[in-house]
């Protein structure tokens, strides 16, 4: 199948202390490549601060990539002509934020908030616009009367549905869900996740689903990618990733999941410090904390390579 999202060796650096004479560079994302097919959900998990949101934001054009190539629906949004290509596909992209409190303007009625993408695209008369708002509210399971209320009158879960309704307004093909359900309780989380999956089935949506809750990721994703300190360390189908994790970091991650009534076996906590992103260490970025690290891990960067089927890993010790 043709991928609708494709990243090839994408990197992103931010300048720290812009005022000073010698600004330092923070390597937030380094050489990341992956793709997402139509109607697929790629789960993206990993260390806090490892660059997941930065990738999500690059995919919708909030941040330009520092290097590498990003194509959306077959159009290159990096490089020359990137701006025009991004403008051409903008309608097909959307983003759902983590914090439903910050994602809605407190002074805008819910109806206007939902209709914002429609208003920006323009060309709807009042009555159609209103009908569309009503449909969107139906779709996310909120009463139509919500349109005239303000965000503070809704609970966190309801607000997240409003944010999702806004994201659906222009019938996008690809949505980045940046911890879209993290702020929700389990029951609401389940409702929103089910909603996202129903919408996927109905409209053929694709998602990049960024989250920390590995159980939720398991239930929504087709494939799962794992990041550590700006690099992609493993990517596999969900079954392979959860049942046969290969990278030591993925294993540590799965091992650290807190469980009701304690862990099945005593847990190995990760020791050591996460690496600096300002002057990243040579070799594997996980080496400073990896229980399996060998001398060569500290000098030679492991290649991200296939290890059978669509399972890819970046680790020297995986055969």
Partner 1 sequence: MSESNILEISGLTVEFRSGGRWITAIRDVDLTLAPRQCLGIVGESGSGKSVTALSILRLHPAKSTRIASGRILYQGRDLLAVAPGELARIRGSEIAMIFQDPMSSLNPVLTIGEQIGETLRIHQGLNRADALAKAVGLLDMVRIPDARRRVAEYPHRLSGGMRQRVMIAMAIACRPKILIADEPTTALDVTVQAQILNLLRDLREELGMSVILISHDMGVISEFTDKIAVMYAGQVVEQAVGDGLFDAPMHPYTSGLLRAIPNIDRDVDRLATIPGSIPDAARMVPGCRFHPRCPEALESCRSEAPAMIDLGGLRQTRCPPRAERQGMIGGRS
Partner 2 sequence: MTDAALDFATDPPTWRHRAWKMAIRLFRHRSFRIGFGITLLLVVVATFGPLLVKTDPTAMQMRFRFRPPSERFLMGTDGFGRDVFSRFIYGAQLSLWIGLWVAVLSGIAGTFFGVLSGYVRAIDSLVMRVMDALLAFPPILLAIGVNAALGPQVHSVIIALSVSYIPRTARIVRASALVVRELDYVQAAKISGASGLRIVWRHILPNSIGPLLVQLTFVFAYAILAEAALSFLGIGPPPPTPSWGNIIAEGRDYAVEAWWIMLFPGIGISLAALGMNLLGDGLRDVLDPRLKIEG
Ligand X SMILES: Nc1ncnc2c1ncn2[C@@H]1O[C@H](COP(=O)(O)OP(=O)(O)OP(=O)(O)O)[C@@H](O)[C@H]1O
User: Which residues here bind partner 2, judged by CB under 8 A?
Assistant: 60-62, 87, 90-91, 93-95, 97, 99, 102-109, 113, 116-117, 120-121, 126-127, 130-131, 134, 143-145, 147-148, 150, 152, 163, 166, 170
**Based on CB atoms, which residue is closest to partner 2, 134 or 281?**
134
CA 4 to chain centre: 15
Long-range contacts of 185-193 (CB under 8 A, 24+ apart): 185/157, 188/156, 188/157, 188/160, 189/213, 189/216, 191/141, 191/157, 192/157, 192/160, 192/161, 192/164, 193/219, 193/220
Name the minimum Å distance from CB 192 to partner 1.
10
From 8, 39, 64, 99, residue interacting with partner 1 (rule: CB under 8 A): 99
CB of 198 to partner 1, least distance (A): 10
Q: Which is nearer to ligand X, 56 or 117 (CB)?
A: 56
Q: How far is the CB of 188 from ligand X (least distance, A)?
A: 8
Residue 107 contacts partner 1 per CB under 8 A = no
Footprint (CB under 6 A) of ligand SF4, residues 246-265: 247-248
In the list 153, 292, 308, 310, the residue contacting ligand SF4 (rule: CB under 6 A) is: 292
Query: How many chain residues touch Mg ion (CB under 5 A)?
Result: 1
CA distance 138 to 143: 7
Of 65, 115, 235, 290, the one binding ligand SF4 (CB under 6 A) is 290
Find the binder of ligand SF4 among 30, 245, 297, 304 (CB under 6 A).
297
Q: Contact between 128 and partner 1 (CB under 8 A)?
A: no
Indicate the Cα dihedral angle 199, 56, 31, 89, nearest 10°.
Answer: 70
The β-bridge partners of 210 are 44, 178
49-78: contacts with Mg ion (CB under 5 A)? 53
Output 95 or 249, the one with its CB closest to partner 2. Answer: 95
With CB under 8 A as the contact rule, the residue among 11, 78, 85, 189 that binds partner 1 is 189
Q: For partner 2, which is the closer residue by CB, 65 or 163?
A: 163
Helix 156-168 and helix 186-203: axis angle, to 10°?
10
Interacting residues toward ligand X by CB under 6 A = 14, 26, 28, 48-54, 155-156, 185, 277
> Dihedral (C-alpha) 54, 60, 62, 66: value to the nearest 10 degrees?
60
In the region spanning residues 27 to 46, those forming contacts with partner 1, defined by CB under 8 A, are: 45-46
**118, two tokens:** 């429609």
| Crossing angle of the two packed helices 110-121 and 156-168, in degrees rounded to 10 | 20
Residue 104 Cβ vs ligand X, minimum distance, rounded to whole Å: 14
Identify which of 187, 309, 300 has the alpha carbon closest to the alpha carbon of residue 244: 309
Contact residues toward partner 1 (CB under 8 A) are 14, 16-17, 24, 45-50, 52-53, 98-99, 101-102, 155-157, 179, 182-191, 193-194, 197, 212-216, 218-219, 238-239, 242, 252-254, 256-263, 267, 269-270, 273-278
Contact residues toward ligand SF4 (CB under 6 A) are 247-248, 284, 286-287, 290, 292-293, 297, 302, 315-317
């Amino acid at each position: 199948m043709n991928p609708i999202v494709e990243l090839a060796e994408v990197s992103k650096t931010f300048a720290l202390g812009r005022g000073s004479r010698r600004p330092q560079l923070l390597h937030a994302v380094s050489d990341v490549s992956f793709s997402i097919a139509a109607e697929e959900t790629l789960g993206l998990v990993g260390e806090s601060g490892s660059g997941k949101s930065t990738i999500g934001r690059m995919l919708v054009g909030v941040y330009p990539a520092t290097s590498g190539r990003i194509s959306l629906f077959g159009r290159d949004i990096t490089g020359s002509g990137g701006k025009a290509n991004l403008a051409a596909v903008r309608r097909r992209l959307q983003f759902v934020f983590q914090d439903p409190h910050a994602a809605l303007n407190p002074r805008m009625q819910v109806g206007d908030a939902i209709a914002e993408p429609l208003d920006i695209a323009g060309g709807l008369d009042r009555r159609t616009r209103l009908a569309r708002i009503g449909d969107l509210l139906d779709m996310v399971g909120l009463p139509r009367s919500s349109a005239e209320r303000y965000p503070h009158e809704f609970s966190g879960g309801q607000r997240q549905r409003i944010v999702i309704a806004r994201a659906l307004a222009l019938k996008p093909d690809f949505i980045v869900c940046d911890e879209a359900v993290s702020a929700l309780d389990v029951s609401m989380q389940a409702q929103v996740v089910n909603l996202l999956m129903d919408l996927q089935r109905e409209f053929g949506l694709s998602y990049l689903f960024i989250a920390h809750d590995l159980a939720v990721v398991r239930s929504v994703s087709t494939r799962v990618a794992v990041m550590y300190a700006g690099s992609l360390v493993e990517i596999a189908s969900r079954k392979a990733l959860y049942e046969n994790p290969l990278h030591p970091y993925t294993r540590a991650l799965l091992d650290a999941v807190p469980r009701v009534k304690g862990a099945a076996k005593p847990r190995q906590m990760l020791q050591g410090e996460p690496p600096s992103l300002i002057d990243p260490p040579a070799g594997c970025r996980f080496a400073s904390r990896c229980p399996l690290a060998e001398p060569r891990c500290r000098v030679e960067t492991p290649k991200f390579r296939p290890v059978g089927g669509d399972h890819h890993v970046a680790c020297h010790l995986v055969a």
